[in-house]
Chain A
Amino acid sequence: MNAVKGRTVLFVVIAPFVLTGAALGWLRESRSYRTAPPVTAELETSRLLPIGIGGAPAEVYFASGSVYEKDAYNLSQGKRLYDWFGCPACHGDGRGKNGPSFLDGWWLYGPDMVSIMASIRNGRPHGMPAFRDRMTEEQIWQLAGYVETIGAYKALIAAPSRNDGIHTRPSENRAPAVILFEQGPVGNRREQGPTP
């Protein structure tokens, strides 16, 4: 009798936590620090439409769980790469300088993962250099995923938070694009590319 009662108690107490755990598991951040070279080689085969905007990632991207868009570790690595590879020189904190902003709702070359990835990897007209030879394929995808979160209109739970540095705009996990967009567009700089 006592044992049965104990088991029921245990079950009812633990059940909600197993459910919570399952929910967490969905956000699960299994970290893989090493991406197998065949996977990165396969990622390189992601195809772009002939106009250079939009396209389809390689199948392996989905098969490996779209980690560059969803996984907190990869996104935060992307954030570090953003600094390490000098992106702020042209794009500032994401609001643009000489280069376009990621937060104004305009994506000159498309807002999707493949377009952003292609912009980084191959460069774009009007000054965006190609990073093909400066970053590894994995880094390009990490950075692309991060850039996507800067301009996202819905905050991802996995998105990075603020850095230990000067704070200039809401951090990525607060969906800065939404907050800043409400303050009005900063305007498109014509010289940087075609008007969408």
Chain B
Amino acid sequence: MAIEIQVPKLGLTMEEATLVEWKFGPGERVRAEQIVLVLETDKVTYEMPSPGEGLLHPVVAAGSTIKVAQVVGYLAADEEELRALAARFPPAEGEAQTPGLPEASRPEREAEQASRHQQKRVLASPLARAMARDHGLDLARIQGSGPGGRIIKADILKALESKPAPESAQPRTTAAGAGALLSVSEEIPITGIRKVIFRNMHLSLSSQAQLTLHTEANAAAFLDLRARMNKTGAPKVSFNAIMVKIVAQALKQHPRINASVEGDAIKVWGQIHIGVAVDLGRGLIVPKVRYADTKSVREISAELEKLITAAQSNTLGLDDLTMGTFTITNLGAWDIDHFTPIVNHPESAILGVGRIVHKPAVEREAVVVQPRMALSLSFDHRIIDGAPGAAFLKTIKDLVEDPLLML
């Protein structure tokens, strides 16, 4: 009996996903727990382990949008069953039409898929390639006139004609020169986590009216609190953990900040789930500290550590990443003071934490050296007016300067 490959529900709100890639070709043997396909939701990229062992018969092509619980393929026990499956369920379009023995070995398929991923392979005659190399032309920018779009000598000559003289003897006036002055050294497809960020950032700025307020806080007490907590021998607490706690307390005092726009209404959330932006190197994700207002700094610190480790090993679930109510992003490690963070849509505000730096400040009419923390708050001006936004930021500033007020 064939095993069904079904789209898993990766999070409470997940309804559909994109089938990014089949890791095996039609007819190839897949063993249980091997990664058989890659899904991409609007939050995560998920490598799905095979539910069993068998010969793969995909019925949904890579690139398709799929629903939760949809059957996207089957695993046949043997060749005979594979043929029966192929007859009953037409194979995925774009995949090999004849199920049976794999026509290409795994590495070949991967290479093929990789190149398909990047873009269509450039066809060019050996001479055209050599000429392009000699003249520094990018074949990807040249239209081929040979069979199947193959770039041939004539196409290179045409491209060279439109290329300006290499020396600056002539002023560069024509737009045609752009092809030669600019060449692509690497083309990175916008997929996976980058695509998610790409969409969300644009969605945020295009749907909200955002503005950013800046202030600065004396961080002496804040630093002192952290130092005292970390002296005890218990696991150390991070800056971010204390900030999460401070923000959670501030949100309790300013519930209208802890809200989203849905349809024609402002929905003020009953819970406080604070996301902390984590840079993975390849992109940014925002795991959530749930019910942050009910947790101690130590609990928050331990939870954050766990979430960041999971993020780095790509094992965060969809539930760890969705349904936040507020976000903190911290660029202090890069010596940034103030910045204008973009709200993590559909939330309505985000706190940008800058570095803590010692600098002169005026205290009781005397110039003293203080550790100063830069704070920036971006919010959706459609639903949060300037004054309430500023008041919220002031509360944060006050709590940073005197964390005992949280009690």
Do chains A and B stick together as partners?
no
CB within 8 Å of A: which residues of B?
Answer: none
CB within 8 Å of B: which residues of A?
Answer: none
